[in-house]
Amino acid sequence: MAAFSRGRQRIKAFRTIIFTRPFTARKFDYDLVVIGGGSGGLACSKEAAQLGHRVAVLDYVEPSLKGTKWGLGGTCVNVGCIPKKLMHQAALLGTAVKDARKYGWQIPESLSHDWPTMAEAVQNHVRSINWGHRVQLQDKKVKYLNMNGSLVDKHTIRAVNAKGKEMTLTTKNIVLATGGRPKYPTRVPGAMEFGITSDDVFWLRESPKKTLVVGASYVALECAGFLAGLGLDTTVMVRSIALRGFDQQMAGLVTDYMEAYGTKFSWRCAPKSVEKLPSGLLQVTWMDLKTKEEHKDSFNSVLWAVGRAPETKTLNLEKVGVEINKETGKIIVAADEATSVPNIFAIGDISEGRPELTPTAIKAGKLLARRLVGHSDELMNYENVATTVFTPLEYSCVGLSEEEAEKRHGKDQIEVYHAFYKPLEFTVAERDATQCYIKVICLREGEQRVLGLHFTGPNAGEVTQGFSLSFQCGLTYGHLRNTVGIHPTCAEELTKLNITKRSGLDATVTGC
């Protein structure tokens, strides 16, 4: 009887193994579905697939109002970091050609830039990256669907392609990584009808010619910077301040340099309307917010850079209970990127309180994938992430701005070491280095831990990348002073800082 009982138990256990476990494994089509094929979504999907999960990526680009569309890779690859840096480089080469004469190069006085040549080269490079992403997904066994995804319930996704064909996918976990798109000012007549955004400027086949850039974010200043650097008549219209959220002393240096080298600024101004003239030019009417006077001028192009909005409206978040910030439209997430629905996660620009930076989205996506697979429990560290503004004079920073450091610790509790320096490259070229500046913000007491590091100058991103690593190791002012610099470089000036703002002494570097 006992043997019979044990036999029945074995059969029951066997049935559990055969039927229950495989049924659970087959319950969903995928272990993970990622909606959004930008940097974060791709990184997350590839990492999860490499670790054994069945993964699908849905990516669909809704054309801009001007009809611009692009391939796989998201904002950074198609209408952000990559084409921006290449066009910035094109502008820097123009400056380098002018400098070259001082170095003895015999260069004709009449030089001109050909936009179509540059645009074709940049766009071809972007397309090669699009193709590379598709190949990588295929190699890593990630199912790529060029479809628009929305939530049906917490485990079901409705996917629709460009022709309206639908399909349904089921999945254990969902990652939302749809990023953001540029905003248009809704209260400015003609703005949407006649203006362009950063979604369009990198895909223009012909030069935008005389351009008004409205906005003073890093996107606005970067675009205005390379347009002016390519020899185009460029004006930036600023309602309040430049580079909101960045250190304002550094922001002032960036815009001062831009003004000195050809970019026009209309400060404290707001657009009222845009009209298309019979000539094809765009007549912009704006208000001077100080004098309340109205002004008009004509431009070939108007580029709106007044902020970005998260791509969350079509995801059907409310139906499944994913909580969002009503003001920003961004998804509220926990430290582990989880939304208010336990198996739905969000990474990148659509997440509330996260930096809108490609590298953070990539890192967060990879770490999330490892946690979902059970490979790791490591969370993303969003503190002290370095970034660079690729304006004509580049600005890079890591850590706190001076304003934020004062707010957190009090003005009397911080020490600011600073220096105005002149890059050696500027000397023979006789370029003004007034805005080349370094600032290191430290706690005043104890070991003087570094809270923030700010740098304007050539190759700012390359300089700051290395120093950002030291923030992970508890960088102090003493560490900087004990580091031997590489001579002659701009970066070495960080290791020589010895004058504080508090002292009131002249911070101009005069020699070794």
**How sure is the predictor about 431, in pLDDT bands with cuts at 50, 70 and 90?**
very high
Residue 510, pLDDT score: 86
Say if residue 157 is in the same domain as residue 195: no
Q: Judge if pTM exceeds 0.85.
A: yes
Residue positions annotated with a catalytic role: 487
Does residue 169 form part of some domain?
yes
Q: Name residue, tokens 């936009």.
A: 115
- With H, G, I as helix, E, B as strand and everything else as coil, classify residue 323: coil
**Residue 23: is its pLDDT beyond 90?**
no
Say if residue 324 is in the same domain as residue 177: yes
**How sure is the predictor about 20, in pLDDT bands with cuts at 50, 70 and 90?**
very low
Say if residue 300 is in the same domain as residue 359: no
Say if residue 302 is in the same domain as residue 241: yes
Does residue 508 form part of some domain?
no
Residue 512, pLDDT score: 66
Say if residue 416 is in the same domain as residue 450: yes
> Tens digit of pLDDT for each residue in 356-385?
999 999 999 999 999 999 999 999 999 999
**pLDDT over 90, % of the chain:** 94
User: Distance between CA atoms of 225 and 235, rounded to whole angstroms?
Assistant: 10
Does residue 465 form part of some domain?
yes
Say if residue 66 is in the same domain as residue 33: yes
Residue 8, pLDDT score: 47
Q: Which of 288, 306, 324 is the last residue of a domain?
A: 306
Say if residue 269 is in the same domain as residue 336: no
Does residue 409 form part of some domain?
yes
**Residue 19: is its pLDDT beyond 90?**
no
Range of the domain at 294: 191-306
pLDDT averaged over the chain? Answer: 94
Residue 26, pLDDT score: 56
Would you say 65 and 392 are in contact if contact means Cβ atoms under 8 Å apart? no
Does residue 383 form part of some domain?
no
User: Residue 164 maps to which CATH number?
Assistant: 3.50.50.60
> Tens digit of pLDDT for each residue in 205-247?
999 999 999 999 999 999 999 999 999 999 999 999 999 999 9
Say if residue 156 is in the same domain as residue 174: yes
**Residue 14: is its pLDDT beyond 60?**
no
Say if residue 231 is in the same domain as residue 245: yes
> Tens digit of pLDDT for each residue in 456-473?
999 999 999 999 999 999
Residue 3, pLDDT score: 46
Say if residue 356 is in the same domain as residue 420: no
Residue 110, pLDDT score: 87
> Tens digit of pLDDT for each residue in 62-104?
999 999 999 999 999 999 999 999 999 999 999 999 999 999 9
> Tens digit of pLDDT for each residue in 327-349?
999 999 999 999 999 999 999 99
User: Distance between CA atoms of 499 and 438, rounded to whole angstroms?
Assistant: 11
Does residue 385 form part of some domain?
no
Q: Which residues of 463-473 are buried (b: 16+ CB within 10 A; e: fewer)?
A: bbeebbebbee
Please give, one letter per residue, the 3-state secondary structure of 418-431: EEECCCHHHHHHCC
Say if residue 362 is in the same domain as residue 406: no
Tell me the longest C-alpha to C-alpha distance in the chain. Answer: 105
Residue 297, pLDDT score: 98
Say if residue 51 is in the same domain as residue 197: no
- Is 32 exposed, middle or buried (CB count within 10 Å of its CB: 0-12, 13-18, 19+)? buried
Does residue 247 form part of some domain?
yes
Does residue 241 form part of some domain?
yes
- With H, G, I as helix, E, B as strand and everything else as coil, classify residue 442: strand
Q: For the chain, how many structural domains are there in total?
A: 3
